[in-house]
C-alpha cells in the first residue's frame, strides 16, 4: 500500500479531502490531509508560501518511504516547492486542477486582487464558482469551514529546477467544467512541462466533492 499526502487550495483545509481520504483508507492506503499554516486546525498566524512549503516538507521528512503528493488549486504551487525542496521523499506529484507554471512565476491574479489592507482575501460564497456540481451538503460544509486566505502565498514566485522537481514523475488531472482555471488554461500549463501524464474529469474545480471515487481511481492507478 502507498502513502498519500493531500494538500488543499486557497481558503480550504484538510477537511475538503474527507471523501477522498475515506476511500483511500478503505483500500488500505495511508492518508495525511494536511492543514497548511493559517488554515483548518492549523489556524493562527497567516501562512506564507515559505511556511507552506516548509510545513509539508517537514511532514515528508518523517515518512519512511516516498509518498504520492497531491495538490489542489493553490496546492499545486505548494507541492512544486516541496518537490524542489525534498524530491527524494516524493514518488509522484499529482496536480488536481492546480497551479503549475514556469519557474519564478507566482499565482498573482483575480484572487490576490481581492485582498484587503490587512493582506487577507476574505471568505465569500463560492458555490457557483467552485462547487456548482457538488452535493449541496458539501458546498455548505465549505461555507462553514473556509478561512480567509493570506495574499502573500499567492504573489510569491515558485521556484523549481529541472534537476530536482523536474525529475519527479507527475500527473495533471484536468477538470473540464472548472470555472476557476478554464480547461484551456490547464492544458496550456501541462504543455509547457513535457513529460507529465494528462487525464481529465468532467468536474468543477472541486472533484474531491463532485466525483471522489473517480478521483481516487486516478490516484490509485499510480500505485500499480
CA–CA distance, 78 with 175 (Å, rounded to integer): 19
The 10s digit of each residue's pLDDT in 177-193 is 999 999 999 998 888 88
Fold of 3-221: Rossmann fold (3.40.50)
The 10s digit of each residue's pLDDT in 134-162 is 999 999 999 999 999 999 999 999 999 99
CA–CA distance, 145 with 187 (Å, rounded to integer): 30
pLDDT for position 170:
95
Q: Which three cell numbers stand for residue 110?
A: 483575480
Contact 86, 60 (CB under 8 A): yes
pLDDT for position 191:
84
3 a catalytic residue: no
Which of 73, 112, 204, 206 is an active site residue?
73
Question: Residue 224: is its pLDDT beyond 80?
Answer: no
Question: Residue 122: is its pLDDT beyond 90?
Answer: yes
- Going by pLDDT thresholds of 50, 70 and 90, the confidence category of residue 165 is very high
The 10s digit of each residue's pLDDT in 14-56 is 999 999 999 999 999 999 999 999 999 998 878 999 999 999 9
pLDDT for position 60:
98
Contact 96, 173 (CB under 8 A): yes
pLDDT for position 143:
94
Contact 72, 98 (CB under 8 A): yes
pLDDT averaged over every residue in the chain: 94
Nearest 5°: CA angle at 128, between 33 and 78?
Answer: 30
pLDDT for position 114:
84
Instruction: Give the sign of the dihedral formed by CA 180, CA 86, CA 151, CA 158.
Output: negative
- Going by pLDDT thresholds of 50, 70 and 90, the confidence category of residue 195 is confident
The 10s digit of each residue's pLDDT in 70-117 is 999 999 999 999 999 999 999 999 999 999 989 999 988 777 788 888
Amino acid at each position: 500500500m502507498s502513502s498519500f499526502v493531500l494538500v488543499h487550495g486557497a481558503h480550504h483545509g484538510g477537511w475538503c479531502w474527507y471523501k477522498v481520504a475515506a476511500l483511500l483508507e478503505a483500500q488500505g492506503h495511508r492518508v495525511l490531509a494536511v492543514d497548511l499554516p493559517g488554515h483548518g486546525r492549523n489556524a493562527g498566524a497567516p501562512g506564507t508560501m515559505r511556511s507552506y512549503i516548509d510545513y509539508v516538507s517537514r511532514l515528508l521528512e518523517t515518512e519512511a518511504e516516498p509518498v504520492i503528493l497531491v495538490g489542489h488549486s493553490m496546492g499545486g504551487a505548494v507541492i512544486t516547492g516541496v518537490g524542489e525542496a525534498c524530491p527524494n521523499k516524493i514518488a509522484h506529484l499529482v496536480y488536481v486542477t492546480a497551479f503549475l507554471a514556469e519557474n519564478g512565476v507566482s499565482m498573482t491574479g483575480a484572487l490576490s486582487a481581492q485582498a484587503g489592507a490587512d493582506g487577507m482575501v476574505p471568505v465569500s460564497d463560492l458555490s457557483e464558482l467552485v462547487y456548482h456540481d457538488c452535493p449541496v451538503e458539501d458546498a455548505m460544509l465549505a461555507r462553514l469551514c473556509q478561512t480567509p486566505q493570506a495574499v502573500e502565498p499567492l504573489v510569491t514566485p515558485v521556484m523549481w529546477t529541472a534537476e530536482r522537481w523536474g525529475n519527479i514523475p507527475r500527473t495533471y488531472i484536468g477538470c473540464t467544467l472548472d470555472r476557476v482555471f478554464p480547461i484551456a488554461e490547464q492544458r496550456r500549463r501541462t504543455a509547457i512541462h513535457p513529460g507529465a501524464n494528462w487525464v481529465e474529469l468532467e468536474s468543477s474545480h472541486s472533484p474531491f466533492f463532485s466525483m471522489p471515487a473517480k478521483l481516487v481511481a486516478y490516484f490509485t492507478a499510480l500505485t500499480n
